[in-house]
Chains A and B, each alone.
Chain A
Amino acid sequence: MTILVVAEYENGAVAPATLNTVAAAAKIGGDVHVLVAGQNVGGVAESAAKIAGVAKVLVADNAAYAHALPENVAPLIVELAKGYSHVLAPATTNGKNILPRVAALLDVDQISEIIAVESADTFKRPIYAGNAIATVQSSAAIKVITVRTTGFDAVAAEGGSAAIEAVGAAHDAGISAFVGEELAKSDRPELTAAKIVVSGGRGMGNGDNFKHLYSLADKLGAAVGASRAAVDAGFVPNDMQVGQTGKIVAPQLYIAVGISGAIQHLAGMKDSKVIVAINKDEEAPIFQVADYGLVADLFEAVPELEKLV
């Protein structure tokens, strides 16, 4: 068995999500190869070669693969997939965008967002916004799987010394083009990888009040998240949304401030190790999952918390 992991990368190096995905691949067992597809990705390939447990790094360096357009990257993965038993990618927006296209081209069903490996063909995944866990078996010759990164502890980023090999013809479907992007800038840790997350909801009242959470987060070295209500109200950008349709986080500590705790929000954070809820409504559903609940006005509690930690 040989497993192909499609690398996620940012700023010229593999992203943490890749390390969690390699961990899932290691649980399946067999050789693990990592594919780095993109333009000018030599540095990324070098960082991938250092990941512990990776046997080989495949590099497809071509302008057609810039910005991970699925119309071009999917045929590349399909071309390479023939030699593998499993194709894995992290369940990031890129992974979710590309892998189902790969699965359909291979004429197999995909298994989305696995949280556990039972055996080489059997996996666990959450359904119904995390309110049920399905055990799914795949009879496909090539198993195409996305990995919920919070379900697997990252492997070490250093320690490996895999060979790097250039692969793949240029597949340019010519039916899509990258126009531009607007990336949110932040010095705080990345939301899905942070050890502590402080999230605000509708109770924050406005976007300006999020400054209370930012300064608390900075003191804790935490990332800042938000509920859908806070995003829809325009308090913060959408890439901060935690939940069924936003990001899935499972930090050591999740502090929910002014968040009621709708099913859709809980889907994104209820696997956090310790959950703290600060809400003035003591009936809020968030208190049913919180390890520590504080019924208080957040505008008094948050600054006091910042002072005391």
Chain B
Amino acid sequence: MKVLVAVKRVVDYNVKVRVKADNSGVDLANVKMSMNPFCEIAVEEAVRLKEKGVATEIVVVSVGPATAQEQLRTALALGADRAILVEAADELNSLAVAKALKAVVDKEQPQLVILGKQAIDSDNNQTGQMLAALTGFAQGTFASKVEVAGDKLNVTREIDGGLQTVALNLPAIVTTDLRLNEPRYASLPNIMKAKKKPLETVTPDALGVSLASTNKTLKVEAPAARSAGIKVKSVAELVEKLKNEAKVI
């Protein structure tokens, strides 16, 4: 089967972001960018499906700026076969991304689409579900295990109380949780080979997709800072403070 994987370029997870002084957003100038960690897990799962002989071709797609080519090349180095960049300059809302991905799904006709469960910048946790809605496919979100069983896909999902398993008709959408797999590193020869793999760039216009949104960010602020606490010297002092000062026990 053909597998489509969506990846996003985001600020590296180790970066402590700073809010811009004019409250228009966070400062991403000269900040290290990487593939969203959940997207790495999505790529790894697709590659494993290919190694098992389940997937025949892996197409990786990103909707974002021209620089997202770096993350697509990373995915190619990890084992994807070819890449598509839907080039859009602005920061997009999830519905716009889902609409662009829907157009790619219509063109590529994958049997399975894998996305991360959320991007660590917007923390939306929406795109996969929205893509499922637009395509009319079943969705297996927050997946910690994915198994193809005949014409069905069994997905074990991380839910609040534990784990839940659902059986989905194919084609289907899966979003990855952290425990789905441990992503591999790209080797230098694979990074070199990835440079020769095809990477196609399209515009949302060419796909006939409108990126209009019903959400507008008015401002972005730093969260209220916690005042510095104190270090206590002993457990007895800690208990005394919790009882008499903080009054929480």
Most chain B CB inside 10 Å of its own CB: which residue of A10, A276, A296: A276
Please tell me if A63 contacts chain B, counting CB pairs below 8 Å: no
- A210: B residues at CB distance < 8 A: none
Interface Cβ pair total, 8 Å cutoff = 258
A166 within 8 Å of B (CB atoms): no
* Complex-state Cα separation, A98 to B214, whole angstroms: 19
Residue on B with the closest CB to A191?
B160
Contact with A along B122-159 (1 / 0, CB 8 A): 11111111111110111101101000000000100111
Please name all residues of chain B whose beta carbon is closer than 8 Å to the beta carbon of A244 when the two chains form the complex: 120, 123
Q: Residue among B120, B121, B122 with the most chain A CB within 10 A? A: B120
Contact (Cβ within 8 A) A296 B229: no
| CB neighbors of B among A109-136 (8 A) | 109-113, 122, 126-136
- B-side contacts of A135, CB under 8 Å: 217-221
Question: In the complex the two chains form, what is the Cα distance from A148 to B223 in whole Å?
Answer: 16
Q: Could you tell me if A126 and B123 are in contact, using CB atoms closer than 8 angstroms?
A: yes
* Interface: B177 (CB within 8 A): yes
Within 8 A of A (CB), among B17-55: 17, 19, 26
Q: Which residues of B contact A275 (CB under 8 A)?
A: 226, 229
Digit string of A36-63 for contact with B (CB within 8 Å is 1, else 0)? 0000000000000000000000000000
Q: Are A100 and B133 in contact (CB under 8 A)?
A: yes
Kindly identify which residue among A97, A245, A270 contacts B129, using a CB–CB cutoff of 8 Å. Answer: A97
Of the candidates A127, A138, A239, A274, which one forms a contact with B242 in the assembled complex, judged by CB atoms under 8 Å apart? A274
Q: Are A133 and B221 in contact (CB under 8 A)?
A: yes
State A308–B235 Cα separation when bound (angstroms).
8
Q: What separation, in Å, do the CA atoms of A129 and B166 have in the docked complex?
A: 29
The answer to whether A101 and B132 have CB atoms under 8 Å apart is yes
Instruction: Say if the beta carbon of B196 comes within 8 Å of chain A.
Output: no
Interfacial chain B residues near A109, Cβ < 8 Å = 93-95, 213-215
Could you mark each residue 199-213 of chain B with 1 if its beta carbon is under 8 Å from any beta carbon of chain A, else 0? 000000000000001
Residues of A278-305 at the interface with B, using a CB-CB cut-off of 8 Å, are 282, 287-296, 301, 304-305
Residues of A129-175 at the interface with B, using a CB-CB cut-off of 8 Å, are: 129-140, 173-175
Assuming the A-B contacts A100-B130, A305-B239, are A180 and B215 also in contact, with contact meaning beta carbons closer than 8 angstroms in the complex?
A: no
Contact A104 B98 (CB under 8 A): yes
Q: Which residues of A lie under 8 Å from residue B93 when comparing CB positions?
A: 109
Chain A residues with CB under 8 Å of B157's CB are 93
The chain A residues found within 8 Å of chain B, CB to CB, are: 10, 67, 69-71, 74, 92-94, 96-105, 107-113, 122, 126-140, 173-184, 192, 196, 220, 228, 231-232, 237-239, 244-245, 247, 252-253, 263-264, 270, 273-276, 282, 287-296, 301, 304-305, 308-309
Closest 4 A/B residue pairs (Cβ): A104-B133, A100-B129, A104-B130, A100-B126
Using a CB–CB distance below 8 Å, which chain B residues touch chain A? 11, 13-14, 16-17, 19, 26, 93-95, 98, 117-118, 120-134, 136-139, 141-142, 144, 154, 157-169, 177-179, 213-223, 226, 228-232, 234-236, 238-239, 241-242, 246, 248-249
15 more contacts with CB within 8 A, not counting A103-B133, A139-B215, A179-B166, are A94-B160, A96-B141, A100-B133, A109-B95, A110-B124, A131-B26, A182-B162, A184-B161, A239-B158, A288-B228, A291-B226, A293-B231, A294-B238, A295-B231, A301-B235
